[in-house]
Structure formats: C-alpha cells, structure tokens
C-alpha cells in the first residue's frame, strides 16, 4: 500500500513539473526563443567561470616560482594574469545576470498569461462549477499559486541550467587537470545526490498540501469576512475560529515539514563541501610530496576553486528543488483549474433574433416540457410547460424552493435544461448564442451588485450609445435623480466598495441600469425585495412603465406587487399548479389565494 502511494506521488510530481515547464513553452514561441537565448548566456557564463581558475593557477605559479628561485616577482605578469582573471569573472557575471534577467522576464510574462487564462476560464465556466467550489480557493489559484509560479519557476530553471552546465564543465576540467584530485572531489557525490532526491520526494507532497490547504483557508477567511454581521449577531465566533484553526494548523504542519525536509540539504551540502576541501588538500599535498608533474601549487589552488565551483551548483540544486517543488505544486493546481470543462463553444452559431435589431423581437416565450435538476438524483423542475404572449407581464410565484429562480436561470441559459426546450419567437434558445440571448434581456437580480467606479459607469455598464438625457430620464423614473444630485460629483461620484450606498439605493441603481439597457424582454428577480414599503410604492409606477410593451418575468414574494400581471404562474415543487391573472386565481380560492390572504393578514 505504501509503495503504491509512493509510486503515485512520484507520477504526480513528474506530471506537475512537466505541466510547469511544458505550459511555459507551449504558451508562446517567444518564450522558447528567450529560453534558448538565456541558455546561451548560461553556457557562456559557465565557460568563463570554468576557465578563470586556469589564469589563477598561472598567477600562483608565477609567484611560487619567483619565491623558490629567490628572484623578484614579475609584477607585470602578475598584473596581466590578475586583469585577465578579473575580466573572466566580470564577463561571467554579466552573462549570468543577462540569463537571470531573461528568465525572470519570461516568468513574469508567463504569470501574466496564466492570470489571463484563468480569467478567461472563469468567464467560460458554467455556473454549476461555482456552486460546488469555494470562491477563496479560486482566488488562491489566481493570486498565490500564480505568484508562486512567477517567483519560483524562473529561479529554479535558471539555477538548474547553470548548475548542470557548471557541474559537467567543472567535472570535465578536473579530470583533464588531474584525475586523482577529480575522484577525490566527487567521491561523496552519489550519497549527496541520493539525499537530494530523497528530500525532494518527501518535500513535494507537503508543498502540494500547502497550496491546497492555503486555498481552503482563503475560502474560510472569505466566508468569515463576508458573513461577519451574521457571525457576530449569532455569537458564532468560537465555531468560526474552530473552522479557521483546522486548515490553519494543517497549513503550518505542511509548511514545517516541507521546509524541514529541504532544510536538511544545506547542512549536508556544507559537510560534504568541507570533506571535499580537506580531501583535495590532503591528496594534493601527497602528490606534491611525491613529485607528480601534473600537480603544483598553482594546480592545487586551481582545484580548490574547482571544489567550490563543483559544490556550489550542488547546493544551488538542492535549494532549487525547494523552489521547483513549490512551483510544480502551484502549477498543478492552476492547470487543474484550467482543465475544468468549459461551456461548449458556440462559434458556429449565427444570429437568429438580433439579425434585424432588438426592435424586431416580438417577445413571445414558450416553455415546452422543461425538466431540470442540479443533482441527477433530485429533479427540481418537472415537465414545465407554459406559453407567454408578446408584451405580457408574467409573474412567477410560489414558496421557497418551488423553482421560480431556477426557471429564470434556464431562460437565460445560465444552466441547461435536462430535457425539453425554451423558445423565444419560435427559436429554441439552444440554437441562440448565450451572448445574443443575454443581449435581449434586461435583468434586476435579487442580489444587487455594484462595482468600483463612477456612478455613471455603474449605470451604463456595457450599454453603448447612452446619452446624458437618457440617464437623467431613467434616474427620474426610479426616483434617484434628486439623490444623485446630492452626491459629490453627481454621476461622476466614485463608488469605492458599495458600502456608501444603502441596500435600497443599490436596488434602485440596478433597476435604473435595466431601464437604460432597453431590452425587449425583462427579468425582475425579487426586484423590490431589498426596498422598503415607501420606496417600493415610489418605484412601482416606474416599473410598470418599464415593463409596458415588454415581455417581463417577475419573481416576487410580495404578491401585492404583481396584482396587475397579465399572467401569474403558481409553482410548487417544480410544477405549475395554477395559472391565470390575480382575479381569476383569487376566485379559484386555491394555493395562490391562500398565499395572498396569508400575506395580507400580516400587512
């Protein structure tokens, strides 16, 4: 069992690393070009660093020979070798800097592209996805995971490229110079490589768990923040703290274990490095005493530099394993999200309703044997059928959970029907692109929404060709004009986070937005639910004017607001149990009459 889990972890680790690197090079050809240029700079920098110790050897030998012969040290030769040595290292530095700069640029651009891809993915996902996933987890993938990739992927790639090139180059140079000293230097390498692989294998699952728990923790924090008023009102702080402490402790544990595993490598690297220095000095000293012609003081000094050049990449590789594990775990989460099933492409569909403009749409709507379920095991809408005449005002009423809002969601194709069809002017909505369908509907939802920006931007909101006069008229119709004039800057008043507006003002703002959109069909989902009775009375006439001549679907708990509806559909348990206008339904003395009388009794 344990072995199976280890195999699965190794496969997942390899897959995650592959997604990190593969995704980088698949996204744009220019990134591959930049990578190649960076690789060229890396090789040049490594070559310069590898050949520099030869000049150091020459410098040491010039001095030691002069000392042995008791002659004056030739300072011109010393200066020559010193200048060449400095030039080698300076050029190596420039090449390494250029390589790192290119990789960091590519990494940041790649992170930008990933954020764009995630944003596009969010816009293409069905609403059902957001019903089953925490917002905080999605936000964590956009911010924490992408930032993790941007910071660690470039560092790990640059380090790996430079370290591998340095290791191979130094190894080759050492064997060319002295195979005895080369073997002394690399004697402990197998043990060190085994330790690096082992620590990486142990650390990766912890980094993966860290990213996952971080998304969960962000979800808890987001829910606590948005529900602070309810939490405080019910005195539920201690339970919320327990919900927070669970993922917080798991996050701390995974971070501790991941860093602890990777933290073992540096002390091990230092230990091996000290042994290599001592071994080279010991073996080199013995070779000097034995009079080996290939070893002199300069060569010994040269090899001490090679030991450092050989050990430094190993140390860097161990650290880059940390970065690569973290970036790979983050990349796996990002690509897991990007792999989610999007809404089907509608590029092959042509305009069916808007080909002659909005004015050509009559607004006839028909529901034919519509069935729908969020969960396959529990059907919400059962064989729903209804015909709505053009320009009619249709009210959908019923108890909570009857399926009222679900019907509107199906009409807008926020969700797809399980069976049956919905037709507008005889055209099946499945044959219409969502973009075209949404263009002909104006909506006022139960949950009001305003965004950061000016009041004018919130009102116009993706509706082109709106003039000042139209805005003023709409504001007047919803009794917002006087309020807007009292705001600093009027229509140019800056809305920061929506907290400066009351619930009623936000609701009126969204109603005004729907007026300006001037669509042939209208949906009012509990449009007056967040408005007090006095404000409701003030806007009711404006709403009647808005719905006049437009096919309108109104969902309301306050039955007094839909008495003038042309058709009232009474829903219960996903079925239409009654239909007709207010007078007809009251005469039937059925479910609707019971609902209306119960509300009237408490008003």
Q: What is the pLDDT, as a whole number, of residue 8? A: 40
Specify whether 578 is located in the same domain as 460. yes
- Last residue of a domain, which of 177, 197, 215? 177
User: What is the span of the domain harbouring residue 45?
Assistant: 22-177
Nearest to 304 by CA among 277, 343, 268: 277
Asked whether residue 37 is assigned to any structural domain, the reply reads yes
Distance CA 334, CA 328 (A): 10
168 and 199 in one domain? Answer: no
Boundary-marking domain end, from 272, 294, 316: 294
On whether both 440 and 555 belong to a single domain, the answer is yes
Predicted confidence at residue 5, as pLDDT, reads 39
> Distance (Å, rounded) from C-alpha 391 to C-alpha 473?
22
Look at phi and psi of residue 573 and say left if phi exceeds 0, alpha if psi is from -120 to 50, else beta. left
* pLDDT-derived band at 286, boundaries 50, 70, 90: confident
Output the CA angle 5-11-15, nearest 5 degrees. 140
- Tell me: do 183 and 170 sit in the same domain: no
Residue 575 in any domain: the answer is: yes
For residue 407, pLDDT beyond 60: yes
506 shares a domain with 441:
yes
- The alpha carbon of residue 457 and the mean position of all alpha carbons in its chain are separated, in whole angstroms, by 26
User: How wide is the angle at C-alpha 109 spanned by C-alphas 103 and 112, nearest 5°?
Assistant: 145
In terms of domains, do 517 and 472 share one?
yes
| Reported confidence tier of residue 366, pLDDT bands at 50, 70, 90 | very high
Counting other chains too, the contacts that 14-21 makes at CB distance below 8 Å and 24 or more residues apart are 15/332, 16/204, 16/208, 16/328, 16/329, 16/331, 16/332, 17/324, 17/328, 17/331, 19/328, 19/331, 19/332, 19/335, 20/149, 20/153, 20/324, 20/327, 20/328, 20/331, 20/332, 21/157
- The Cα 325–Cα 16 span in angstroms is 9
In a domain, 300, yes or no: no
Q: What per-residue confidence (pLDDT) applies to 59?
A: 79
Q: Give dist(CA 512, CA 443) in Å, integer.
A: 10
| 389/284: higher pLDDT | 389
Residue 107's domain is classified under what CATH number? 1.20.1560.10
Decide: helix, strand or coil at residue 369.
strand
**What pLDDT is recorded for position 41?**
92
Q: How far is CA 492 from CA 182, 459, 485, in A?
A: 74, 11, 10
pLDDT at position 94: 94
Asked if pLDDT for residue 164 goes beyond 80, the answer is yes
Establish if 165 belongs to a structural domain.
Answer: yes
Is there a domain that residue 288 lies in?
yes
Is 119 within the bounds of a domain? yes
pLDDT, mean over the chain: 79
Does 314 fall in a domain? no
Instruction: Give the chain's length.
Output: 603
CATH code at 536? 3.40.50.300
β-strand 567-572 against 393-397: which pairing, if any? parallel
Same domain, 379 and 511: yes
Say yes or no: 156 and 253 in one domain.
no
| pLDDT tens-digit map of 477-499 | 877 888 888 888 888 888 876 55
Where does a domain end: 244, 275, 294? 294
CA 524 to chain centre: 32
- pLDDT band, very low/low/confident/very high, at 233 (cuts 50, 70, 90): low
- Average the pLDDT over 116-139 and give the result: 81
Q: What is the number of structural domains in the chain?
A: 3
Residue 585 and residue 539 share a domain: yes
Cα separation, 303 vs 203, whole angstroms: 34
Alpha-carbon gap, residue 210 to 103, rounded angstroms: 26
Pairing of strands 365-372, 419-424: antiparallel
Residues 130 and 183 in one domain: no
Whether residue 157 is found in the same domain as residue 194: no
pLDDT score of 335:
82
Residue 150 covered by a domain? yes
Residues 79 and 150 in one domain: yes
């Amino acid at each position: 069992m344990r072995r199976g889990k280890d195999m699965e972890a190794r496969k997942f680790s390899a897959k995650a690393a592959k997604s990190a690197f593969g995704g980088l090079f698949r996204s744009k050809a220019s990134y591959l070009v930049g990578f190649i240029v960076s690789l060229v700079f890396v090789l040049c920098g490594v070559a310069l660093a590898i050949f520099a110790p030869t000049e150091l050897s020459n410098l040491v030998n010039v001095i030691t020979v002069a000392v042995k012969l008791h002659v004056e040290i030739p300072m011109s030769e010393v200066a020559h070798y010193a200048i060449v040595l400095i030039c080698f290292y300076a050029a190596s530095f420039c090449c390494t800097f250029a390589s790192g700069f290119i990789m960091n640029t590519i990494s940041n651009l790649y992170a930008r592209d990933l954020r764009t891809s995630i944003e596009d993915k969010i816009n293409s996902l069905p609403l059902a996805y957001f019903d089953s996933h925490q917002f905080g987890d999605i936000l964590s993938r956009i911010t924490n995971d992408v930032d993790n990739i941007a910071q660690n992927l470039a560092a790990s790639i640059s380090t790996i490229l430079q370290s591998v090139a340095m290791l191979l180059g130094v190894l080759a140079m050492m064997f060319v110079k002295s195979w005895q000293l080369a073997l002394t230097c690399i004697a402990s390498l197998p043990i060190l490589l085994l330790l690096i692989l082992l620590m990486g294998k142990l650390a990766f699952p912890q980094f993966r768990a860290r990213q996952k728990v971080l998304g969960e923790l962000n979800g808890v924090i987001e829910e606590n923040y948005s529900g602070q008023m309810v939490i405080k009102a019910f005195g539920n702080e201690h339970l919320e703290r327990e919900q927070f402490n669970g993922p917080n402790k798991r996050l701390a544990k995974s971070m501790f274990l991941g860093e602890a595993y990777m933290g073992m490598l540096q002390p091990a690297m230092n230990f091996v490095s000290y042994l290599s220095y001592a071994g080279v000095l010991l073996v080199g000293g013995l070779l000097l005493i034995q009079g080996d012609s290939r070893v002199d003081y300069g060569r010994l000094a040269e090899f001490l530099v090679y030991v450092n050049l050989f050990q430094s990449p190993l140390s860097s590789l161990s650290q880059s394993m940390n970065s690569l594990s973290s970036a790979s775990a983050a990349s796996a989460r990002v690509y897991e999200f990007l792999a989610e099933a999007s809404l089907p492409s509608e590029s092959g569909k042509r305009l069916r309703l808007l080909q002659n403009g909005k004015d050509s749409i009559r607004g006839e709507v028909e529901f034919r044997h519509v069935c729908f379920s969020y969960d396959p095991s529990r059907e919400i809408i059962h064989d729903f059928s209804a015909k709505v005449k053009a320009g009619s005002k249709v009210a959908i009423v019923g108890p909570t959970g009857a399926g009222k809002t679900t019907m509107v969601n199906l009409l807008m194709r926020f969700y797809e029907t399980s069976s049956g069809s919905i037709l507008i002017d005889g055209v099946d909505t499945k044959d219409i692109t969502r973009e075209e369908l949404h263009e002909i509907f104006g909506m006022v939802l139960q949950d009001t929404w305003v965004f950061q920006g000016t009041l004018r931007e919130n009102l116009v909101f993706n509706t082109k060709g709106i003039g000042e006069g139209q805005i003023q008229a709409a504001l007047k119709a919803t009794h917002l004009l006087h309020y807007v004039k009292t705001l600093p800057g009027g229509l140019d008043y800056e809305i920061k986070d929506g907290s400066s507006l009351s619930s009623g003002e936000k609701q009126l703002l969204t109603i005004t937005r729907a007026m300006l959109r001037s669509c042939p069909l209208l949906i009012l989902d509990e449009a007056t639910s967040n408005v007090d009775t006095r404000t409701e009375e003030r806007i009711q006439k404006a709403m009647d004017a808005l719905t006049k001549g437009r096919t309108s679907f109104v969902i309301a708990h306050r039955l007094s607001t839909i008495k003038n509806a042309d058709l009232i559909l009474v829903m219960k348990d996903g079925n239409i149990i009654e239909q007709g206008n207010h007078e007809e339904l009251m005469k039937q003395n059925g479910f609707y009459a019971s609902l209306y009388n119960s509300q009237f009794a408490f008003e």
